Structure 1
């Protein structure tokens, strides 16, 4: 099939007023229509949604599909909510239905969907899992006509355990449907699209597949990017308030706390400001995003939640506080601008400190080389294997103790030599029970995961406990418990949704906090931050290049030039173009490797007794034992073989379902994820210089 269904083609031309499809949309018609697995790669607003939906709707009509034919998976409920009206409009042209299923959809609406399945279902992996383990869903009837699964923002899934969970669920859906499911991923620019597509295929690797990423020549203009050094959040607010009056600006911050502080400060400067982050209530975020989409001369301040494809209308400018952790993330954010025909992609980066300035300059230097990080799924997802074995047992009621591998059809984590030790542990510890060749849910699983109908098994990420904040009956958002227990003088004030609230009373049992608005400022915003994973080897080396004198290919303000000059002078002893530097100063011995967090964690383990055992891993250097005498010889370093990093027992708490694993397997999983052997090997191969100050 190389053409759209006639009715759909009519509406594309006459209702949407499109003279032609975009190159990506035209290129996707035949491979998707022929049933190939595919990965569609394009920047934000590149037309990926239509590129996949138009041929699928045409296939439905041409091949007379009935029942639930397509599942469309997104990483965020907000993205699903945003897509729903657009996809419903397209489907209605052909008399087809699109429905939404996630945690905010009412029980009555879900029952209606189960009684009369739509043609397309928009959902999340966690909702799919809840559907599968739920007792009210006839899985085989509901999934029996499934043909295709679309995974939006697939790169966002693949980089963490949600991706492994999604792949496992897709294999179970394939088993229930009784046929191979066409898998189509939509992605922003990544460094390894072919590998990402093979990963998405899961057990079906080897099926015909194609990466669809046509070259775009529509806008040959270079993006307008500027780097500034402002020194503080307060100064960042002054710059934002003073520049670009009359424009619609999207500001990205690297934490919820910074979003709140910057939002409150901007409002103090008289700027119309909206906020968006994960701890605001869904209604609060929706109101902010809708108001921002319809307004002019305003700012919306957000964490990475708006990095993905949620539509907030045409933007004039993106402003980034400090720098994101990857070039891929920067490209995604940059792509939110320049959508209008006369617009140019642009970004203003505001560094809060000199360290932040070096990191931002390094990222822009890396971007300027054309580098984009490869997406690397985390290795050894043994804890996901444990979760899946329990989830499948709940789904089926009981599973054969020799037939369980069939459900994942050879997906690597479920090869017997890898998964059997996990299964044996689940049986030994009472998570599963064996009865006449069948496996059933055991008492330990009931005790640990059985609350609320095993809902804790549906998500593979650990969410810290938060208190719901309410003004009367209206939910504002959620706050960290420490903001309610820390010592304060006078009334306890919270900062949430960009304004200050006074705490009236706290319902500790139900984790609810009731507040009233107050005039002025002084509220506290506090949340437990998730680990970022630290600086990568590629970014650390780009920062080293900047320290050695290389400038990023962007405009630098006078403040940025002056601050970079001072940074280079301060750290000039830590860099050398021909290798690494060991600096001894005041009894402190540091090996400046510029290897990134994981590289230095691996090097610290590899050095063994030579490394300071009490020093926490740093992104740029490894602290050596201060009593070492003489330099580390190059030949001695080259003879070392990289070793897995040591794992702190406290880190196991961040690995969800670690209690369902033998401790040694949980430690091995975390060690493999912390290691960067190529980075360590690269550093060990480089000459070292000793400097005594």
Structure 2
């Protein structure tokens, strides 16, 4: 029986034989004939099943048998430069065997190579979406596009879910004006293949989908390692907890059982922490993630591929198809959060035909295990998330309008509008929307549109395009300053800093640092004294758990609850039949749910939301995932803030919404508030509250940069939010910033669905006191963290800092005395030197306005001013009761009278405990302040 290789040019067949390729993979057998038919084709198959050759062999066949002509014949577009590098390495041999020229072009390509490509274009050009934009801008390079016969878009699913891909979708339509080419997309397994096919082909083009159903099984196992006596000893050696030691021990055992193991983690902090732990134990492992230098990543890839290290720990940096050789086993540390990630990650193991891909998920607790069960079951059933396409993003449209103005010189707006609408993300773009974007670009002086509708470029159009080839946001960098030595030790990206908490730890240049202050342009840090006990915190990159996965976790809890009267072993057996796990892990989940029931608390499930209260904390147990909980949480905090007239802090995980309130409120009040929310009002309420957030400000700055309304180097910290709103509200820029937040961070559709189900009784809503499950949340991000107890050196650094800070002392008795003093110099207790009173307020130096208001209470009219004066009196009363301890607490960052009084109320004789409570309060303040509305 013939195989698909026989369809290829004899020279390709000879090259295949000389390179040892005699039998095609299943992917090649199915897809090569489809591609050679001339159809536009989307190939969906796991990484490592020969997708690159699947696309390239028919393209090389076409190059060898096509007509001559100066120009590119094949464009191979990949989302990562690392893939470019990897692709060139793999295709160099084909170039030698067939005499076909293959070269790479991206941002790092040296100028002499670019000149050579312009003068003598290669047959095959491997490039990125951004470099394709640059090619359009040069006349000579643009002419080389006229001969393109094949465009291969690798990892098309990755591009389809980003604005980089949206920009590319228009670029492909622009390319179609020059050349008649075949579109070939290579994708990992996705939940909605038709969407990706539409994205690749554009409007009115039929794209043939070739989906490879891998017959080999994906063999998953989910486990929470059981802590042994040996783990307790190991924990002491690693200066960590026994449960974390058991996880490290399990990783080492799995690595020793296999020749090559790829270990995926969800955050860079885990990658660094595992690397550090293994190094301490003398175990060989390489670390790979996006924050490492290119050289470090290449070294890690090569060391693993060459067998010099048996394991590579990595983040999503290895999900895409970089060739790192054969992999025997995949470890996933913690739930992978999404089904598509698990399939991609575990699918990298056992790539030889007919082999099983095996993977172990090491879960850290009961919620994590249940989540991993839900994901593994959904993976086996093919229930994979769909790609979240951006619909009609205005900033990418603005970018491409400018690009076409530059490309054509003069072009009619009708022509641009018609071309843009052929790109699938813009199929529903209205003429009104298009014209609003044009109007904005005219206002920014990037284009000119005359009365006849002709778009022309302006003097700054070319500069704008060179600065905005990419839709990836330009980010400012912060200097890292060591507060102890005063020296600068490196820089951090804006996206990193905006999500960092006070007290968070990160690594730079091999050293660990803890953040003590974030200012407009720098991050002040202190060295971490005990590196083994800490890991870096990249809080901004948490992968959101989808609604469907979180609901299944709720369903698992409900199933256990419904079997509560049966023997534990029967419930364990039932779970093990349905999910790939072991008896110990299943029993832990059973005990988790039964403890909740045994304590006479309701179990939160997919059919039951439970609101719990304790003091001024509310926990809403809601199994709806990150985005729905973020959406519901923002609506609830907005309503509560309007009721209280002051801020409400919020924190979420996939199964809980945690609120910190300015005053105590009962859980029953929250249930009533939730039931009163009209699902139709979710979006307008959130949009209104977004105006007060740093998130919208940050997004608006980036969108405005893509419109050319703000220069790349503008310092957004110096721009007032009010001014930004005044300038941008009502423009396409403002609307796009809001839409991007809704797309990336929120899930309005499912939030409305949940509220509707609550109203019609499909989901019940109950209230109670804080329970075991309610209080078990927010540990997922801990990962490999050591216990949170701050070591003494950190507490002493905190004490030092507070003692050297200043307070503004003000006597509320005579109102004649005020003085700015270092905290260390304040007497205990403070006494007014004018009247002898001890009713002294200890204000922050910037609270001088509040002091002036307190001097003249008879003039107060505004309600806000009256509240400020009450806070000054509350402050003074705390100092009157507790003396200098109160001054210390009040001088701390983010601690107002209420928080300070809570810290002092817990006051013990141990000074370390006092400062530990202050440190915790400062961290809580910085962690939650971006949610205060």
What is the TM-score of this pair, normalised by structure 1?
Answer: 0.83
Aligned counterparts of 2:403 and 2:362: Cα–Cα separation in 1? 46
**Aligned pair 1:600/2:625, yes or no?**
no
Change (3 A) 1:290 1:537: same
Report if the CA contact (8 A) 1:274-1:288 is conserved: yes
Unmatched 5+ stretches in structure 2: 227-240, 482-488, 514-520, 523-528, 561-574, 643-647, 708-730, 770-933
Counterparts in 2 of 1:312-327, with a 5 A limit? 312-327=324-339
Q: Which residue of 1 aligns with 2:555?
A: 545
**Match of residue 90, structure 1, among 90, 94, 100:** 94
- Give 1:23's aligned residue: 26
In structure 2, C-alpha distance between the alignment counterparts of 1:464 and 1:324, rounded to whole Å? 30
Does residue 119 (structure 1) correspond to residue 130 (structure 2)? The answer is no
* 8 A Cα contact 1:379 1:672, kept in partner: no
Partner of 1:651: 695
Matched, 1:228 2:224: yes
Equivalent residue, structure 1, for 2:315: 303
Q: Distance between the aligned counterparts of 1:165 and 1:585, measured in 2?
A: 48
Counterpart of 2:650 in structure 1 is: 616
Distance verdict in 2 for CA 1:367–1:140, change over 3 Å = closer
Distance 1:477 1:15 in 2: 50
Distance 2:14 2:460 in 1: 59
- Of 587, 609, 620, the match for 1:581: 609
Answering whether residue 541 of structure 2 is matched by residue 534 of structure 1, we say: no
Q: Secondary structure at the match of 2:255?
A: coil
CA shift, 1:617, in A, is: 6.5
Partner of 1:564: 589
CA distance in 2, matches of 1:458, 1:115: 25
Which deviates the most, 370-379 or 151-160?
Answer: 370-379
Distance 1:244 1:533 in 2: 25
Structure 1 distance, partners of 2:152, 2:77, is: 6
Q: Paired residue for 1:505?
A: none
Secondary structure in 2 aligned to 1:643?
helix
Of structures 1 and 2, the one scoring higher in RCO (CA 8 A, sep 6+) is 1
Cα distance per residue 1:411-441 (max 9 Å; x no partner): 3535423221111122124343446865455
Counting only pairs closer than 5 Å after superposition, residues 71-470 of structure 1 correspond to structure 2 as 71-133=75-137, 135=138, 138-175=140-177, 177=178, 179-202=179-202, 205-217=203-215, 219=216, 221=217, 223-229=219-225, 235-245=246-256, 247-295=259-307, 298-340=310-352, 344-397=356-409, 399-408=411-420, 410-411=422-423, 413=426, 415-434=430-449, 438-440=454-456, 450=464, 454-463=466-475, 465=477
Q: What CA deviation, in whole Å up to 9, does each residue of 1:187-225 have, x standing for no partner?
A: 1111111221012112xx3323211124343x3x55142
Asked whether the equivalents of residues 557 and 605 of structure 2 are also in contact (C-alpha less than 8 Å), the reply is: no
How far does residue 17 in structure 1 lie from its aligned partner after superposition? 3.1
Q: 2:149 & 2:590 partners in 1: Cα distance?
A: 59
Asked if the contact 1:327–1:372 (Cα under 8 Å) also holds between the matched residues in 2, the reply is: yes
Deviations for 1:586-621, whole angstroms, at most 9, x for unmatched residues?
466655442223333444577797666735373334
Question: TM-score, with normalisation over the residues of structure 2?
Answer: 0.63
1:9: which partner in 2? Answer: 13
Gap change, CA 1:313 and 1:671, over 3 Å in 2: closer
User: Structure 1 635/528 Cα, relative in aligned 2: closer, same or farther at 3 Å?
Assistant: closer
Of 615, 622, 641, the match for 2:680: 641
Matched-pair contact (CA < 8 Å) for 2:332–2:362: yes
2:859: which partner in 1?
none
Q: Distance in 2 between matches of 1:468 and 1:629?
A: 46
Contact persistence 1:252–1:319 (CA under 8 A): yes
8 Å contact 1:99–1:121 — kept in the other structure?
A: yes
Instruction: Say whether the 8 Å CA contact 2:288–2:313 is kept in structure 1.
Output: yes
Note the C-alpha offset of 1:353. 4.5
- Structure 1 CA distance, aligned partners of 2:278 and 2:97? 44
The alignment yields a C-alpha RMSD, in angstroms, of 4.2
Q: Tell me if structure 1 keeps the 8 A contact 2:45–2:188.
A: yes
Alignment correspondent of 1:692: 768
- Tell me how far 1:397 sits from its aligned partner: 4.9
Q: Report Cα offsets for 1:533-589 as digits up to 9, x if no partner.
A: 622111111221232346475543565345424543466656466833343434666
Show CA shifts across 1:163-188 (max 9, x none): 2122122122222x1x4432111111
Contact 2:406–2:461 (8 Å) recurs in 1: no
Q: Distance in 2 between matches of 1:192 and 1:598?
A: 20
Give the Cα–Cα distance (whole angstroms) in 2 for the partners of residues 568 and 628 of structure 1.
21
- Give the paired residue count: 659
